[in-house]
Amino acid sequence: MRVFLATVLAAAVCMAQFRSTSQLVVAPTTVTDSKGRFIDGLTKDDLILSDNSVAQPIQMEWQEYPIDLVVAVQTSANSMPVIDKLGDLGILLSQLLAAYGGETAIISFSDTVKTHQDFTGDPDKVTHSLQMLRKEGGDAHMLDALQQSLGMLERRSKGRRRIVLMIAENRDRGSIAPLPDVMARAQRLNAAVYWVTFSPFLQPFTVRPKVAEDLNPIAERIKFTACLLCPRRDETPVPYDPGPGGLLYGIGELARMSLPDLAALFTDATGGRTLSFVKKDALEQAIQLIAAEVHRQYILTFEPKDAEPGSFHAIRVMVKGRPDLQVKSRTGYWVVN
């Protein structure tokens, strides 16, 4: 995986920008103890950031930058159980992850990428857009979705944190956008990619039997009501839908295991995190964990000195005198020409 990541990043020589016209490397850094508890109160003097094993003078950003968040949801044929789990999670995304001053956009992707909600701070709009998602298409163009997400973030005002949350499998199905180009754009924008993955094989076993009413988007479903004159729910049972299946599908899925693990590639390169879920409560916990991490990070910056243009530099962050603490940051950066 590391060899593949280096190969991909070799095509991604790009400029990191945060608040400087020169190359400024931004390294969001999470520090936890052995039990996973966040360590607060550190200063830049407590941390050592090594660039290719050479300690660098660093700055720590104390300002709370507002967040621009793009949530990209896979809505292909094998995603219906996941879509049903998202319906009432808008407030977690808008109020917990994007939080105060932040704005959230919602897109979906299958054979195509669609924007359902442009950036907004209104949790009701975010919730409604999630509740209007429906299963469509057979493929899952993850790289195309990432490319569109990054394009949306690039058009936003400077001085805001840029985050993409992918709710998807971890291997692409038919994107047009080249992997090196998407990786280059993510690095150039200093965007952090978080990925919540699911198994298409397990998801169908996590939902109750469906009726015809359940095939509509959540926002359009008729709820149970005692009103005699109100429209009634269509309670006609529908056949169990395990999603795509069969021998040929299974063989194809085995072949896809040789494709790049996009979740690992993008979260490692940008300092994000990959989590997985099966049931709805695990999805909620994953979003809560990501939100906690995002809002408890140390934002470290430094300017590379006398580095060879086009070279890749590995980053490592440590806490002085505390080898027992776990420190997570981005894996490295490319020096621009």
* Structural domains of the chain sorted by starting position, each given as residue range(s) with its CATH number in brackets: 2-63+297-334 (2.60.40), 67-293 (3.40.50.410)
In whole angstroms, give the CA distance from residue 80 to residue 216. Answer: 11
The predicted pLDDT at position 249 comes to 54
The predicted pLDDT at position 236 comes to 73
> What are the structure tokens assigned to 46, written together?
């407590």
The predicted pLDDT at position 79 comes to 82
Rounded-to-10 torsion of CA 99, 171, 279, 239: 130
In whole angstroms, give the CA distance from residue 71 to residue 313. Answer: 30
Q: Please, which residues have CB within 8 angstroms of residue 64's CB and are 6 or more apart in sequence?
A: 101
The predicted pLDDT at position 68 comes to 97
| Cβ neighbourhood burial of 278 (10 Å; 0-12, 13-18, 19+) | middle
Which of 242, 241, 238 has the alpha carbon at shortest distance from 250?
242
The predicted pLDDT at position 216 comes to 66
Q: Please, which residues have CB within 8 angstroms of residue 239's CB and are 6 or more apart in sequence?
A: none
With residues binned 3-state (H G I as helix, E B as strand, rest as coil), the percentages for the chain, rounded to 5, are 30, 25, 45
Residue corresponding to tokens 């094998």: 78
DSSP H stretches of helix in the chain: 2-10, 80-86, 90-91, 123-131, 142-154, 179-188, 247-256, 262-270, 280-294
pLDDT in tens, the chain (337 residues): 544 444 444 444 333 333 334 578 889 999 999 999 999 999 999 999 999 999 999 999 877 789 999 999 999 887 888 888 888 899 999 999 999 999 999 999 999 999 999 999 999 999 999 998 988 888 899 999 999 999 999 999 888 999 999 999 998 988 999 998 998 888 888 899 999 998 765 545 555 666 665 666 766 666 766 666 667 776 677 666 655 555 455 555 555 666 789 999 999 988 899 999 888 899 999 999 999 999 999 999 998 877 777 778 889 999 999 999 999 998 888 765 5
> What are the structure tokens assigned to 214, written together?
């359940």
pTM of the model as a whole: 0.79
The predicted pLDDT at position 138 comes to 80
Which of 63, 58, 128 has the alpha carbon at shortest distance from 304?
58
List, in sequence order, every residue forming a beta bridge with 88; answer none if it has no partner.
none
